[in-house]
Amino acid sequence: MKFRKNNKTIFTFIILPIAIITILFLFQLYYKSFFSSKMVMGGRFYFQTFAKDEYIINNEKIDVEKYFRPSCQPVLNDKNLNIVMSSYYGKEFSEINLPDILFKKPEYSIINYFSLLREAANPQKGKFAGCGTLGRAKLPYPVAYNFLSSDYQEKLSYDQYLKTFENILHINLLKLKEVPILNENSDILRYFVEIETIEGSDKDVAYFAYYYGFIDLVKEENKYLISNSEFYGENYLCAPYHGWSYDAEANVKVRYGNWCSLIQEMYPTKIDDFVKKVYFKGTDGNDYLIVFYQLTNDTDIEIAQYKKSEGQDWKLINLNPKKCLE
């Protein structure tokens, strides 16, 4: 009886408290681990792991393009300029003198420029993607900087230029087309571009981001160089839920019709690849053409306006429908 009593005393005052303390400790560890770990969409987040093997199976290289793209749209910046980059490995941008052939035509300059930058990567601290060195890393930037005109380089130093590529880890050029400029005396050539980028995040997840913009070029000696560029981020959750302004036909009907009372009759829209041409008969007796470019997210961006009087050719104009609301 005494032995059983001692066992009961040991269990009550020693084993049971230790067990309770252990359970509480383990529960606290679990609670702390669960709520201190990164959370996403209501659950715990884990980094994906990869085997860092070469892309070779049965001695055949895999086309890695499918890993870079969420869509099948062909890229335009597919020129292999690795030899050019390797020739200037480790050199400062001021020591680089690129061959004129890269700048022979305006389209060449833009395509070659983005071909250099396609596999350039400037990772940002705290944001990650990939598993090791990305593409050509920072090697292309000093070479690409030489595609900027002398005036543009004076406005944008190389260090500033490099910083603008932070967290841009891959670039695909999707669309390229010259756009008209109203000033006929201008020496500037303007091009519309749409690009697709891969960007890192603090969750080690890569994001595809899309931008459209305009690149201006000027001719210096025998080279077409970039004199200015501007980009606009594309929103993928706006057009599906809101408004009319993202659709070319609806846009024209509201802005030129409802706002300005300029539409007498709508003509059939013509579509050629990503170019949409919306025609209408004006209440002033003239014909009008509003040109839109369609983005990857199907948003239509107004590019140019034309007017044609009877017996005349199309003339580039500049209308501001917002003034009709004043």
Q: In this structure, which topology does domain 65-233 adopt according to CATH?
A: Nuclear Transport Factor 2; Chain: A, (3.10.450)
CA distance 210 to 232: 9
Please list, in sequence order, all residues whose beta carbon lies within 8 angstroms of the beta carbon of residue 218, skipping any fewer than 6 positions away: 149, 187, 188, 189, 224, 225, 227
Residue-level pLDDT, tens digit, the chain, 326 residues? 444 555 556 556 566 667 677 776 666 655 555 555 565 543 455 555 444 444 444 444 545 555 555 667 789 999 988 888 888 887 888 888 899 999 999 999 999 999 999 989 998 888 888 777 887 889 999 999 999 999 999 999 999 999 999 999 999 999 999 999 988 667 899 999 999 999 999 887 888 989 999 999 999 988 999 999 999 988 887 777 777 888 899 999 999 999 999 999 999 999 999 999 999 999 999 999 999 999 988 889 999 999 999 889 999 999 999 999 88
- CB contact at 8 A, 219 and 96: no
- For 306, which DSSP code? E
- CB contact at 8 A, 84 and 51: no
| Short-list 268, 273, 311, CA closest to 293 | 273
| Short-list 145, 131, 119, CA closest to 65 | 119
Domain 248-325 CATH (choose: 3.30.70, 1.10.10, 3.10.450, 3.40.50):
3.10.450
CA distance 121 to 143: 14
Is this structure's pTM higher than 0.85? no
**Separation of first and last alpha carbons in the chain:** 101
3-state secondary structure 119-167: CECCCCCCCECCCCCCCCECCHHHHHHCCECHHHHHHCCHHHHHHCCCC
- Indicate the SS3 state at residue 322: helix
- For 211, which DSSP code? E
Count other Cβ atoms within 10 Å, centred on residue 305.
Answer: 19
- Indicate the SS3 state at residue 224: strand
